Amino acid sequence: MEQMVIVGAGPAGISAALYAKRGNLDPLVINNGIGALEKAEKIENYYGLPEAIPGKQLFENGIAQAKALGIRILEAQVLGIEGFDTFEIKTTAGDFEAVSVILATGSARKAPKITGLKEFEGRGVSYCAICDAFFYRGKEVAILGHGDYALHEAEILSHTASKVTILTDGKEPEFTDVSFEVVKQKVEAIEGEGTVTGLRLADGSMVQAAGIFVAAGTAGSSDIARQMGAELTEKGHIKVNEDMESTIPGLYAAGDCTGGLLQVAKAVHEGAAAGLAASKYVRGRG
């Protein structure tokens, strides 16, 4: 059993890990590579930088700092987290169990730009298989996505839906050997009357579906939190208290995924606060 799993190795995740490790805990950081810093050409407004530093360099410095302290860093994609008392973290590198989890996964993922997607949200378009699968029992559903996260969502839905089709929207699937039908064509639009009835493909043909589950790219923080039943803010960020704890005891969040100021300084501060609070929580659990 892990004491603490931190999802994300950006400023928030690494900061949380540094505070936990220096408090004599042994956190495990799981990450999928660089986050927002990849696109930050230069950072020059963070404390202690006499010269601007490329975002990529700042990310690598953070990883090196953590490794120098003996923090374990695993490159893998988190597909979902289950549990309440202890947490089961499902990743592309296997499953882990932990007493506490800190989500530091950065900003929410962007949904694909498909006509009708926004319009049908809550009326057939869903972002959470585990939350909504029950509504589609015995019905045909479609998953929008091309990676392991899409496959993970498809497997959850396969227990209730009559048929699951994965639509990669023009992308090459990252998985092989799946038992689901995979459609690689671009998706033109989501169609329906009141509620979703299907998706129109680039060649004009239709894929029938009463439910469409968006699982493009990797699972974002709000996807994971939503799956777990944690409360989100109106803007879809994870709701936290002053200790960075979500509405689920033992589940913390820090950095861009809690919304507000999207800056390194705020991510580092929240990471530190979450690392300290989660350490206290773990100690309290014995």
Ligand X SMILES: Cc1cc2nc3c(=O)[nH]c(=O)nc-3n(C[C@H](O)[C@H](O)[C@H](O)COP(=O)(O)OP(=O)(O)OC[C@H]3O[C@@H](n4cnc5c(N)ncnc54)[C@H](O)[C@@H]3O)c2cc1C
List residues binding ligand X (CB under 6 A).
7-13, 30-33, 35-37, 39-40, 43, 45-46, 55, 77-78, 104-106, 218-219, 255-256, 262-265, 267
Q: How far is the CB of 14 from ligand X (least distance, A)?
A: 8
Separation between Cα atoms, residue 145 and residue 165, nearest integer Å:
11
Q: How far is the CB of 285 from ligand X (least distance, A)?
A: 24
Three-state DSSP state, 91: strand
Q: How far is the CB of 254 from ligand X (least distance, A)?
A: 7
Cα Rg for the chain, rounded, in angstroms? 20
> CB–CB of 43/92 below 8 Å?
no
* Of 64 and 262, CB closest to ligand X: 262
Closest CA to 250 of 5, 18, 73, 14: 5
| φ, ψ (nearest 5 deg) of residue 277 | -65, -40
Q: CB-hemisphere CA count at 13 Å for 77?
A: 13
* Of 7 and 230, CB closest to ligand X: 7
Separation between Cα atoms, residue 220 and residue 215, nearest integer Å:
9
Type of residue numbered 217: G
* Of 27 and 35, CB closest to ligand X: 35
Q: How far is the CB of 81 from ligand X (least distance, A)?
A: 10
Q: How far is the CB of 118 from ligand X (least distance, A)?
A: 22
Q: How far is the CB of 2 from ligand X (least distance, A)?
A: 15
Separation between Cα atoms, residue 99 and residue 81, nearest integer Å:
12
Separation between Cα atoms, residue 162 and residue 140, nearest integer Å:
5
In 23-167, which residue ranges form alpha helices assigned H by DSSP?
55-68, 129-132, 148-158
* Of 65 and 197, CB closest to ligand X: 65
* Of 117 and 224, CB closest to ligand X: 224
* Of 153 and 199, CB closest to ligand X: 153
